[in-house]
Copies of this chain bind each other. A is one copy, B any other.
Amino acid sequence: MSLVVVGSVAYDGVQTPHGRRERMLGGACTYVALAASYFTPVGIVAVVGEDFDPADWKFLRERGIDLAGLERAPGKTFFWSGVYSEDMNERTTLRTELNVFADFRPRLPAPYRSRPYLFLGNIQPELQRQVQAQMAAPRLVGGDTMNYWIENRREALLEALRGWSVLLVNDSEARLLSGERNLRRAAEAIRRLGPSVVVIKRGEHGALLFSDGGPFLAPAYLLEEVRDPTGAGDCFAGGFFGYLAERGLDPAQGPLEAGELRRAVIYGSVLGSFCCEQFGVDRLRTLTRAEIDARFREFKALTEF
């Protein structure tokens, strides 16, 4: 069932040990929406500048993404560039030019407002709340955030979180938000802030799911070659949340089924793993649902005992 995704659409400059791209399509909203589009109809809410390439517009539309909420504003598109370390476990930001994203005031097109699923990408928590307030009565709201908001907009973030069912974070965000070092305790503390489902994304070390159904430990897929990890966490989020939307999960009907949540985590890992195989969104230009389902089955074979 239909999903609305809010966040950044950007151009990225990236350098990894496998190569370099001066300018490629990126942004959290882009990756989340592309990954989710394999599971459910997706509409995005984002802003781009006058330099946004018609070919990128076309690519998103061809993936079936509804662009009614993609505003085009005077100025340039958000630009970020960075360099990954030799082992790709660290990255250094070279440039961040917010451009039109600096004044982003997300406005939902009327048809979006009655849609049942909402994913709030990493933007200012006040904006996340404003977006949610524009929705009629979404079934399931999820989102992510980052250290910067946890440290500098803590109260606003806590208020936003109270309205969410699902939060996706990484290790350090979970620790910073909860004040707990141990991840099990950190997740339980975060669940008391609102989201009944907490997913801790650990990149090449897998993911942890905490819900009423107890914890679930998922290893990461083992790639032969990681070319560019940019966007992998967002693809995880898109695969995870897209699968929940596809299944029509509804917390008003009782606790989210643990098995469905676990499968959603694996689909998230699958999408994250494909993302790393090529630079930027390139792997998603050719990826098929059949390949996704095949890797899901492979995951089962790799982890059963």
On A, residues with C-beta under 8 Å from B are 86-87, 181-185, 202, 205-206, 208, 214-226, 259, 262-263, 265-266, 300-305
Contact = CB atoms under 8 A, between A and B. Distances in A.
A226 B265 CA distance: 26
A221 B86 CA distance: 29
B224 A305 contact: no
Contacts of A206: 205-206, 217, 219
B265 A305 contact: yes
B219 A219 contact: yes
Given A263-B305, A302-B215, A305-B259, A222 B208 contact: yes
A303 B214 CA distance: 11
Contacts of A87: 181
Contact of A302 (B216, B220, B300): B216
Contacts of A220: 217
20 contacts: A182-B223, A182-B224, A182-B225, A182-B226, A184-B223, A184-B224, A185-B224, A202-B205, A205-B205, A206-B206, A206-B217, A208-B222, A215-B222, A216-B303, A217-B302, A217-B303, A218-B305, A262-B304, A262-B305, A300-B305
Contacts of A300: 305
Contacts of A181: 86-87
Contacts of A217: 206, 219-222, 302-303
Contacts of A202: 205
- Nearest 9 interchain pairs by C-beta: A217-B219, A262-B305, A205-B205, A219-B219, A217-B302, A184-B222, A217-B303, A184-B224, A266-B305
A214 B224 CA distance: 14
Nearest to A303: B217
Contacts of A185: 224
Nearest to A258: B305
Contacts of A224: 182, 184-185
Nearest to A202: B205
A218 to B, nearest CB: 7
Contact of A222 (B183, B259, B265): B183
A223 B183 CA distance: 9
Contacts of A305: 216, 218, 259, 262-263, 265-266, 300
